[in-house]
Structure 1
Amino acid sequence: MAAVFETGRRQVLAHRVAAHQLDRSESRPGRLAVLDLGVQDTPHGSARLALAARTTSEPPDDGSLTLIWSTRGAPHLHRRSDLPALAAALWPLGDADATARISATAIRDGARMGVAAFTAAAEALRAVVREPMPKGEVSAAVSARVPESLTYWCRVCQAQHISGGLFQQVGLPAGVRLDPSGPGTVLAPVQDWPGVPGAASGTAGLLRTQLRLLGPAGLAEAAKFLGTTQTATRQVWPGGLAEVRVDGRTAWLPEEDLDALRSAPAPRLVRLLPPSDPFLQARDRSLLVPDRERQQAVWRVLASPGALLVDGEITGVWRSRLASKGRLNVTVTAFDALSSPVRDAVRDEAQRVAEVRGAADLTVTFTD
């Protein structure tokens, strides 16, 4: 039996900073490692800011990156070439897994359909979206096609709606992407889509990638990443993992990444991470931010701010607002006092945010 590697949270954070290429060592946005899992775009625009925190180059505008509902039904930016394999990896592992992923009290009977619920919804969505269409029109058309048990009565709209959680989770397997070119949410077909998956495949490899970028981590964190139960996740728990003890807690990392964890240098950088940044997607939040009050400041139920990352530690939060005449106002709230060099670095990073958001002018305000 291989020896268990002992380490602490600071070394784990250093490893994750390196794994996420937050040192801007990759000049080609499409090659960034975080795209192996996808970059969540909540709120819209966050994905571009997450890429900007990792590279100074602009993302390609050639269709090679696609915005689509994927993991847990949330909008993510992915490489177009990765989508078919990802759709199979995220497909439910069985009926119990599918029911757990739906997790909608409004359609309890429909949730019991298991995989059949995903199949019916995905096939309906694929049949409806043959050209760019507003989300509302798509939802109405899909609701009319699926079994009634997958819909509920919406008092506001006075209509039967498909469960929103299920609707968005089948966006990827249906080959339906988000078109951000205009106002409102528009759905469009992914060209040359191979079809709705017949069964899950490659899920263990996806979890291995999750552990590579957000590890060392455990079964519970992997299950939360998929949006399912530990029982289901255990079925596809990957092999070839090294056991790691992080401040006494058992976690796992791909064996080939153990040397990278051991040798990860202490980071020396300042970054403004947007809300839902891949670095913040780790489910072991107490490791990222040990203080409970600070956790609540970083991860809010609604409208989470961005996070200020200084040398591997989350040391504050930030928000931005685009005002009139192209001015971006960035407000940084630090948990502790920031040194003058760190403040200067924050201003530099805020300028990068302004560039991505198309602002011609910038104001940065620091608060405690």
Structure 2
Amino acid sequence: MLEVDRRQVLAYRIAAHGLHRDVRDAGELAVFDLGVQDVTKRDTAVLALVARLPAGAEALLDDARFTLGWTHRGAPHYHRSEEFRALIPALVPLDDADAEARMLWQRKEVTAAGMPAKDVLLTAAKALRDVVDRPMTKGSASTEVTKRIPEGFSRWCRGCQATHIHEQLMRLATPLAGLRLEPGTSPATLAPLAKRPRIPAKADVAGATRVVETYLRLHGPATAGDAAGFVGTTRKTVAERLWPSGLAEVRVAGRTAYLPAAHLAELESPPEPGVVRLLPPWDPLLQARDRATLVPDKAHQKELWKILGNPGALLADGEIAGFWRTKSAGKRLEFTLTELWPLTKAQRTEAETEAERVAAARAYPTPRITWT
């Protein structure tokens, strides 16, 4: 059994995620095999591409090669358009226990709904499909759907001061209904897919297994629990029903983890991870569920993965070496770069160059940069 340390794992992941900028076309980036999470107001998907492409940001908003949708865990992700329709059946829960886990429902919610959890999800998908026959804001779609579903599917929302469909239920049901998200819109806007597919009759187990395998390839070596955290289900579901074949066992810091065997040589001898990059919040590299591998210090983990307001991560010499934040000041973008340990002068210079790339992608002139 191959035994590796966390530095070797990080070097492998940095290469697997395309952070060496050896790919020129966004469509060829391996991170789109799993999807790139987007938070529109913070340009996270665009900035994830800035970190990976030598030519700078791709215009995701106008690029028909990519489709935005609520997919893994109900979070918005960009996927290759040619693969989006095939992904939809892989998002269907395998059974009621899987559906409950993905919807974040407890027994009391299932009882209130009055039907099995998987039926709840498919019923909500049918209502969404009936309602959203044109682009509609999330609020408008929620209002109309809530009128068509059983009362147990809804809840009182203090923020909206209204009763509407459970948030996570709506997010998970939306792709099953053949709906995507309109890029760059706020509030979120739902729209039918072209040649909208029918609601899947059953889960695509093979497709869901490929999602797990892709997670292990990009974020490996990893465990069933890690993959389950990304998918949004239970470890038992992944380990017993979605576990891929052709995996190799690897020892990492005393624990057993798994990687597709075809990529074992890349893990054993990864490229030197000497790149400096500014990763946005929710960057694909930061989506790994074994956060202690990425950032061993618990205080630093709490700073990087907050409930609200995550900073970006400063990648240097194969480590998360700091954080970064921005704020706009008139027509200028102000950067605050925070070191977790002293960087070299060359690394600081590279980080400042990366900040200029980020500012340009957000249509700002040369930024003002402060180091702390």
TM-score (structure 1 length as normaliser): 0.95
Which residue of 1 is the match for residue 3 of structure 2? 6
Q: Which amino acid aligns with 1:150?
A: F
Change in 2 beyond 3 A, CA 1:95/1:247: same
Corresponding letter in the other structure for 1:124: A
| Match of residue 196 from structure 2 | 193
278-287 vs 200-209, greater mean Cα deviation: 200-209
Trace 1:1-368 onto structure 2 (pairs within 5 A).
Answer: 4-42=1-39, 44=41, 45-57=43-55, 58-59=57-58, 61-104=62-105, 107-109=109-111, 110=113, 113-155=116-158, 157-201=160-204, 202-234=207-239, 235-325=241-331, 327-367=332-372
* Cα-Cα RMSD: 1.6
Deviations, residues 67-102 of structure 1 (Å, cap 9, x unaligned):
211100011111111112211112101111101211
1:26-65 per-residue CA deviation (whole Å, 9 max, x = no partner) reads 0001111001111111354101100110003342533111
Report the CA distance shift for 1:177/1:204 in structure 2 as closer, same or farther (over 3 A). same
Q: Could you give the per-residue CA deviations for residues 255-284 of structure 1, whole angstroms, max 9, x where no partner exists?
A: 101011111022111000000000000000
TM superposition shift of 1:168: 0.8
Say whether the 8 Å CA contact 2:360–2:366 is kept in structure 1. no
Q: Structure 1: how far apart are the matches of 2:54 and 2:179?
A: 30
TM-aligned CA distance change 1:155 to 1:264, over 3 Å: closer
- Cα separation, 1, equivalents of 2:162 and 2:273: 53
Unaligned runs of 5+ in 2: none
Assess if the C-alpha contact under 8 Å between 2:335 and 2:370 holds in 1: yes
Deviations 1:199-235 (A, max 9, x none): 1111111110010000000011011111111111121
Secondary structure of 1:160's counterpart equals strand
Per-residue deviation, residues 78-127 of structure 1 (Å, max 9, x unmatched): 11111122111121011111012112358342386221111111111122
After superposition, the Cα gap between the structure-2 partners of 1:314 and 1:158, relative to the gap in structure 1 and judged at 3 Å, is closer
Moved more, 166-175 or 152-161: 152-161
2:137 corresponds to which letter in structure 1?
P
SS in structure 1 opposite 2:273? coil
Distance 1:6 1:155 in 2: 51
Paired with 1:168 and 1:116, the residues of 2 have a C-alpha distance of 15
Separation (CA, whole Å) in 1 of partners of 2:187 and 2:329: 21
AA in 2 matched with 1:191: A
Distance change (3 Å), C-alpha of 1:112 and 1:330 = farther
Q: Give the number of aligned pairs.
A: 363
Letter in 2 for 1:334: E
Kept in 2, the 8 Å contact 1:132–1:186? The answer is yes
* Structure 1: tracts of 5 or more residues without a match: none
Percent identical pairs in the alignment equals: 47
Q: Is the 8 A contact 1:219 1:230 kept in 2?
A: yes
1:194 Cα deviation from its structure 2 partner: 1.3
Indicate conservation of the 8 Å contact 1:69/1:178, yes or no. yes
Q: TM-score, normalised by structure 2?
A: 0.94
Runs of 4+ in structure 1 deviating by more than 6 angstroms, as ranges, are none
SS at match of 1:268: coil
Please say if residues 9 and 221 of structure 2, whose CA atoms lie closer than 8 Å, have aligned partners that are also in contact.
yes
Q: Which amino acid aligns with 1:72?
A: R
